[in-house]
Each structure stands twice: as structure tokens, then as C-alpha cells.
Amino acid sequence: MVNVRILGDPVLRKKAEPVTDFSIVRSLIEELKILMYQEDGVGLAAPQLGISLRFFGMDDGTGFKMIVNPEILERADEKETGEEGCLSIPNVFADIERSRWVRVRYQDEHGSYHEELLQGYSARIFQHEYDHLDGILFIDHLDSKARTALSQQLKKIMEGRKKYQEK
Ligand SMILES: [Zn+2]
């Protein structure tokens, strides 16, 4: 069983590569689902499993979906603030501004294309997970004041990761 990669792990900062072999995605669905639900997550991206490929799983309350090679085709100018957390940054929550809606295109685990208009909570999850594929974490969206307020907590998480890895 793989562990969720924690802040400070370089894989979380890498730009992930497009998926060409969909069997890799299919072989990871079960593991991704288990990890995501076990940690009470609503989304989990491949880089968080140490896999630098462009896919993620999400569940906005309507069921689990695999999102492969996603694109954001259009986004609302209008922003909405909501609280976010991330399984790679345990126990840290912050208000983040996201576009109110996004029009997206992605492939499923079989390679079929889907186009959807996502709003509110679904749009927020999608934008958060999509960021992971470009090496962006939700804390990067904070202003310097909010980031400073969290700096001790973030430092502790990174130190904890090192200790765990060195064992
Ligand atoms: Zn995350």
C-alpha cells in the first residue's frame, strides 16, 4: 500500500506528464479510492501517490470519478471563497478563492472524452486537483499574510515528513 506524499516531497512540485497508457490509471483506481475515502478526502491526485502523471480521482458527492488528462477550457471571472484542505498537508485548512464555475474536458479511465460544466463545490475540487498536476498546492494561493500565519504549522509538517522518511 502506498502512502500519501506529504508537503516537502519534490514529486508534489513537479509538472506531471500526460497519460498515454490508460492501463496504468485503471490499475491504480482501487488504491486511490481506498486512500481517498480512508482519509476522508474528496479528491486525490496521482502526484500525491508519487506518480507524476496527469490524473486524479474525485467525489463531489455524486460518486467517484477518475479524471485523466484534464483541461480547463473556460473559467468564470467571478470568484468564490471556500475552505480547503489537502491530504498532503495534514490538518491545515484555509479559505481559498476559486472560480465559481469551470468548463472542463477530460478522459475517463478508458480514454473516452467528457466535457462538463462544473459549479460550486465540484468546480472547487476540480481546480484544487488540477493544480496538483502542475505542482501547485492550495497554500500557494494564500496571500503572504495568511501564508505567514501558517508557516510554523507547515514547517512542522515538513520536518515530520523528513523524520518519517529517514526511519
Ligand atoms: Zn490536495
pLDDT per position as a tens digit, 75-117 = 999 999 999 999 999 999 999 999 999 999 999 999 999 999 9
Return the closest-CA partner of residue 8 out of 76, 92, 118, 111. Answer: 92
Helices assigned H by DSSP within 20-71: 22-38
Looking at CATH, the fold of the domain delimited by 10-166 is given as Peptide Deformylase (3.90.45)
How many A from CA of 58 to the centre of ligand 1? 11
**Residue in the block written with cell 468564470:** 76
Distances from the Cα of 100 to the Cαs of 42, 64, 70, in angstroms? 18, 21, 18
pTM listed for this prediction: 0.95
How many whole angstroms from 62 Cα to the centroid of ligand 1? 19
pLDDT per residue as tens digits for the range 11-52: 999 999 999 999 999 999 999 999 999 989 999 999 999 999
Residue 129 a catalytic site member: yes
CA dist 115 and 21 (Å) reads: 21
